[in-house]
């Protein structure tokens, strides 16, 4: 069997066109384009390239973006005061603090300082709580992107057995909640580093989502033939043949799985583009809610 490649890039392009139309309609209705503010502290090259990609995607969708760049030496007070100023700024509909921060011990406090109505990353406890309760909320972009890829690729989830590898607060855990929600209706197994016999849980699954941050976590012998594989991982693997000295790889043995899986997302070009599209969607949604909310 040769797996169908779930092309996140073209699925995301479809979605981005829809979002651009919504942003244009909101602009026309309210006289102002939706606006995103991105806080970037420090000079981590991966964070820099993620922020640039997000800003480019905003521009293409008719969303204004503003970058607040802080030095790596910026302390807790500087970052908190930048976030609080953005909370008060009426021109800003969505706020994104690019993680990791140089001092990761303050991340939770920074996220909690954000106005939940502008938390387009969906990391604030208010949004997480509302998501768990099935109430309208900003949902974290990567898990939302995984669901959106599967939905647009018409992979059935209702009643399906889905195994998620990884229980991080930004990917695996919220994804497990979304998948089991009414309306999505998957039966979810959430695996992590303490899981005994990972392959037992992946072999029983119709869909396996890998978000472990380790190349080669899922191999061909670990799935049943025809299963769908979503690879969330983004790893920089040393590669002397490239000018950059590295290549991007996911968490799966992609070449091996291609012969066994029914469908698989590539890295790059799978979940990544959809994650960015979900950020745009949340930003337009934040703008709509703020501008149309009853006074
Ligand atoms: P994390 O390190 O916070 O969490 C990894 C999780 O995987 C942990 O819960 C750990 O228990 C589990 N894990 C690791 N190895 C395992 C193994 N062998 N068996 C079972 N469980 C295992 O990582 P994260 O922030 O969730 O990110 C995961 C991956 O997804 C990373 O490669 C990251 O770069 C990528 N990512 C991609 C996007 C995107 O837009 N494509 C967004 C966010 C994260």
- Residue with CA nearest ligand 1 atom 15: 212
| Architecture of the domain delimited by 30-115 | 3-Layer(aba) Sandwich (3.40)
The two three-digit tokens of residue 112, written as one number: 């909690």
Per-residue confidence (pLDDT) for residue 246, from 0 to 100: 93
* CA of residue 211 to ligand 1 center, whole Å: 4
For the chain, domain boundaries: 30-115, 141-273
Per-residue confidence (pLDDT) for residue 293, from 0 to 100: 73
Ligand 1 and 131: CB distance under 6 A: no
182 included as an active-site residue: no
Residue-wise pLDDT for 206-225, tens only, equals 999 999 999 999 999 999 99
Per-residue confidence (pLDDT) for residue 194, from 0 to 100: 98
Q: Can you name the CATH fold of 141-273?
A: Rossmann fold (3.40.50)
Ligand 1 and 87: CB distance under 6 A: no
Q: Is the pTM of this model over 0.75?
A: yes
Ligand 1 and 52: CB distance under 6 A: no
Per-residue confidence (pLDDT) for residue 21, from 0 to 100: 98
Q: What is the spatial distance between Cα 258 and Cα 3, in angstroms, rounded to a whole number?
A: 5
Cis omega (within 30 of 0) on the bond before 268? Answer: yes
Per-residue confidence (pLDDT) for residue 295, from 0 to 100: 63
* CA of residue 169 to ligand 1 center, whole Å: 10
7 included as an active-site residue: no
Ligand 1 and 232: CB distance under 6 A: yes
User: Do the domains spanning 30-115 and 141-273 agree at the CATH topology level?
Assistant: yes
For residues 222-260, b (16+ Cβ closer than 10 Å) or e, as one string? bbeeebbbbbbbbbeeeeeeeeeeeeebbbbbbeebbeb
Ligand 1 and 192: CB distance under 6 A: yes
54 included as an active-site residue: yes
Query: Which residue pairs, CB below 8 angstroms and at least 24 apart, start in 232-238?
Result: 232/142, 232/146, 232/166, 232/171, 232/271, 233/267, 234/267, 234/268, 234/272, 236/46
Per-residue confidence (pLDDT) for residue 35, from 0 to 100: 98
Q: What is the spatial distance between Cα 282 and Cα 285, in angstroms, rounded to a whole number?
A: 5
93, 115, 119, 121: the active-site residue = 121
**Ranges in the chain, pLDDT < 70:** 294-295
């Amino acid at each position: 069997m040769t797996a169908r490649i779930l092309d996140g890039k073209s699925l995301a392009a479809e979605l981005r066109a829809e979002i651009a139309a919504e942003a244009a309609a909101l602009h026309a209705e309210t006289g102002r384009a939706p606006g995103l503010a991105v806080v970037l502290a420090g000079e981590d090259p991966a964070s820099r390239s993620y922020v640039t990609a997000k800003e480019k995607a905003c521009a293409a969708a008719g969303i204004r973006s503003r970058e607040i760049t802080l030095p790596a030496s910026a302390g807790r007070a500087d970052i908190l005061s930048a976030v609080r100023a953005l909370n008060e700024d009426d021109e800003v509909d969505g706020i994104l603090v690019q993680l990791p921060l140089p001092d990761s011990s303050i991340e939770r406090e920074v996220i909690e300082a954000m106005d939940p109505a502008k938390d387009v990353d969906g990391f604030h406890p208010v949004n997480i709580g509302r998501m768990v309760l099935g109430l309208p909320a900003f949902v974290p972009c990567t898990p939302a992107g995984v669901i959106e890829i599967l939905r647009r690729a018409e992979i059935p989830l209702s009643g399906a057995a889905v195994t998620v590898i990884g229980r991080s607060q930004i990917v695996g855990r919220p994804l497990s909640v979304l998948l089991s929600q009414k309306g999505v209706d998957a039966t979810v197994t959430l695996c992590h580093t303490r899981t005994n016999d990972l392959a037992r849980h992946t072999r029983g699954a119709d869909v396996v989502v890998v978000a472990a941050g380790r190349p080669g976590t899922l191999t061909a012998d670990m799935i049943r033939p025809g299963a769908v594989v979503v690879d969330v991982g983004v790893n920089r693997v040393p590669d002397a043949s490239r000018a950059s000295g590295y290549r991007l790889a996911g968490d799966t043995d992609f070449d091996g799985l291609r012969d066994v899986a029914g469908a698989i997302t590539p890295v790059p070009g799978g979940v990544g583009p959809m994650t960015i599209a979900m950020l745009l969607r949340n930003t337009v949604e934040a703008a709509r809610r703020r501008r149309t909310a009853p006074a």
